[in-house]
Amino acid sequence: MAAAADRDTKRPARMSVWLDGKAASRGRRAGGDQPSGLDRERITSATVRLLDAEGLAKFSMRRLAAELDVTAMSLYWYVDSKDDLLELASDAVAGELVLPDPDADPDADWRDQLRDLTQGYRALLVRHPWLSPLVGHFLNIGPNWVALSLCVQRLIRRTGLPPERQAGGIAAVFQFVYGFGTIEGHFRKRCAEAGLTQDEYFAHAMGAVGGRAELAPVMDAAREMVEARSGETVDDMRDHDFTSAVDLLIAGIEARTVR
């Protein structure tokens, strides 16, 4: 059973769970003596809970089976590998995003819709720190990721960018959000592991950096920025930076739109 439970580590990588036709069904086979009380939705939900609680590095089929109080072999009625579960979990949390309908209201401001969507994506990455490495690992063609992709494409078309610049506009905005949300999620996790608030951790780090002579040029160069944000919490600074960056990206899009 141990060999079977670990078989996902020996299988050749495939493109996506969504391309082999199994993701649309609730189990690998219809009928038979498949385990009672299990279905793909329950397994996926448990996967998300474990990833949120323990992180990507500790996740395993055995750990998931223990969480569900079943044998690891039972899980293979519904998925072929751990990667399948991770891909299903990634798509499941992508469904938490509230997507605007860019074409529903011709008078809706695409700028406001873009700001709302970037904030939602950032929050998603922070809420589920395990998500960002999976976004880069899989094709992201599950139903919820596809819905997001279509929404983004329709929204960017509304900006007036010519077709040859639209992919660049998407990359500029959403790869920025991906990076920002990933770093924010990691910082929050590090603070929690250290048993410190974000402000305590930041103050400790700045004090340590400030005492190093070789880092003095960096600190001196940043002094004006630091003084301008005096009194702000880490959350305040981060929110201000994110909003300012998105506004700059929107201004850049506006500068390149077809008038």
Instruction: Assign residue 90 the CATH number of its domain.
Output: 1.10.10.60
Report the alpha-carbon distance of residue 89 to residue 49 in Å, rounded: 9
- Environment class of 22 (CB within 10 Å of its CB; exposed 0-12, middle 13-18, buried 19+): middle
Domain count, the chain: 1
Residue 72 domain flag: yes
Q: Which domain holds residue 51?
A: 2-94
Report the alpha-carbon distance of residue 41 to residue 206 in Å, rounded: 45
Torsion angle of alpha carbons 172, 177, 180, 184, nearest 10°? Answer: 180
- Is the pLDDT at 5 greater than 80? The verdict is no
Name the residue with higher pLDDT: 35 or 250.
250
- Is the pLDDT at 39 greater than 70? The verdict is yes
Contact 38, 56 (CB under 8 A): no
Report, as an integer, the average pLDDT of 144-160. Answer: 97
- Is the pLDDT at 22 greater than 70? The verdict is no
- Is the pLDDT at 2 greater than 50? The verdict is no
Residue type, 187: F
Residue 60 domain flag: yes
Residue 102 domain flag: no
Residue 209 domain flag: no
Name the residue with higher pLDDT: 233 or 13.
233
Residue 155 domain flag: no
